[in-house]
Amino acid sequence: MEEIIIGVVRKSTGKQNIERQVRNILAKYPNARIVRITHCGATVIGYKDFQKVINEAKAGTVNRKYKLVFDSASRMSRDSEGGCQLYEDLFNHNVSIEFLKEPHINTEVFKKALDNQIKLQVTTGNEATDKLINTVIKALNDYTIALAKEQIKKVFDQAQKELEDIHTRTSEGILTAKLEGKRVGLSKGSKLTTKKEKKAKEIILKHSKLFNGTLNDIECRKLAGVSRNSYYKYKAELKELETMVA
Q: Are 10 and 37 in contact (CB under 8 A)?
A: yes
Cα angle 107-113-114, degrees, rounded to a multiple of 5: 90
Q: How high is the pLDDT of residue 208? A: 86
Q: Are 41 and 13 in contact (CB under 8 A)?
A: no
Give the start-to-end residue ranges of the domains of the chain. Answer: 2-115, 183-245
Q: How high is the pLDDT of residue 245? A: 46
User: What's phi and psi for 37, nearest 5 deg?
Assistant: -125, 125
What is residue 226's three-state secondary structure?
coil
Give percent above pLDDT 70 in the chain. 65
How does pLDDT run across 88-121, given as a tens digit for each residue? 888 888 888 899 988 888 888 777 766 665 555 6
Q: How high is the pLDDT of residue 63? A: 81
pLDDT average, residue stretch 182-208: 70
Q: Are 243 and 202 in contact (CB under 8 A)?
A: no
User: What's phi and psi for 70, nearest 5 deg?
Assistant: -120, 150
**Strand pairing partners for 2?**
64
pLDDT average, residue stretch 134-155: 66
Q: How high is the pLDDT of residue 186? A: 47
Distance CA 192, CA 188 (A): 11
How does pLDDT run across 156-170, given as a tens digit for each residue? 777 666 666 555 666
> What does DSSP say about strands 2-11 and 33-38: parallel, antiparallel, or unpaired?
parallel
Q: How high is the pLDDT of residue 246? A: 43
Q: What's domain 2-115's superfamily in CATH?
A: Resolvase, N-terminal catalytic domain (3.40.50.1390)
Q: How high is the pLDDT of residue 159? A: 63
At 238, which amino acid appears?
L
Q: Are 68 and 42 in contact (CB under 8 A)?
A: no
Looking at per-residue confidence, does 119 or 81 come out higher?
A: 81
**Strand pairing partners for 66?**
4
Looking at per-residue confidence, does 62 or 67 come out higher?
A: 67
Q: How high is the pLDDT of residue 113? A: 67
Looking at per-residue confidence, does 27 or 196 come out higher?
A: 27
pLDDT at 144 over 70: no
Q: Per-residue confidence at 28, pLDDT binned at 50, 70, 90?
A: very high
